[in-house]
Structure 1
Amino acid sequence: MAGATADGEPIEYAEDPIGAARQGVNPTVLARMASGWAVMGGTQHLPGYCVLLHDGDADQLTELPRADRVVFMRDLVLLGEAVERACRAADPGFFRINYEVLGNFWPHLHGHVHARYQWEPDALRVGPIARYGSEREAPEHRLGPRHDPLRAAIATALQDILAED
């Protein structure tokens, strides 16, 4: 049954984002890509934060065959291009895109796409996003309806980029 586990319970996208994406019940999904799912990040401390979730069992990039690694990285770059297009159009302070493939916290292959802005504090504008600490997770930064316009712009840009291929 779509949107439910084997025992009929609904899939909670925060607990199983990939399973929920497969079932069509993950509201953060922007697009299905060759290697997985492009999703809007659950926090929007820096607007436009997105994640590419690998649709498989790999924990880290080197667990994939080389050809699949290239597909994953290509998808990550395409997602970054879409975030850049949308964020540049939405905010004149847009500065650049940063990419991360970590896996230390959640042992499943995924890649982060961070939009960076000129309006960030000077001491935090360079270097990893983690330097912001717990501020990134503050309740006021949770993904919500106020992010719908940017989410739609990223999804549209991503569909356009995928159609160009």
Structure 2
Amino acid sequence: MTRRSDRLVSVDLDESSIGRGSPDIEHERAVAIYDLLEENSFALAGHDSGPYRLTLSIREKRLVFDIRNEGEAPVVTHILSLTPFRRIVRDYFLVCESYYQMIRTASPSRIEAVDMGRRGIHNEGSRILAERLEGKIEVDFDTARRLFTLICVLHWKG
């Protein structure tokens, strides 16, 4: 059962980990953060100090989840290797680039086919993220999807 405190109330991307991206990437980033804050499930194993504030960053080729309580007091930092994400993020970027090019000129059926592939890769990345967080942070699938989008944004620019 999800408690009201098992959620994120703030999500930031470490500005030193990223730069400005293309308008498409900036849009993905803004939508993912907005959607994530609107609805999420984020519970820390062994902690009952939510709701939480999350800052995501990349440091030394590792993904850093800096988690704080609502009052900004540190709760826990989880560091994950990016190695399990390399292939899936690379594939996702390739499909996204094709998708963004196609939406300007291709037929609706071609756009739909590429978008289905894009969503499939995104789902796989979300599943990998949820597995990597297991025992540390419990997230539902939609939360994992939105977090995976943010990881891609960080990875793209990091």
Instruction: Calculate the TM-score normalised by the size of structure 2.
Output: 0.29
Structure scoring higher RCO (CA < 8 A, sep ≥ 6) equals: 2
Bigger helix fraction: 2
Instruction: Calculate the TM-score normalised by the size of structure 1.
Output: 0.28
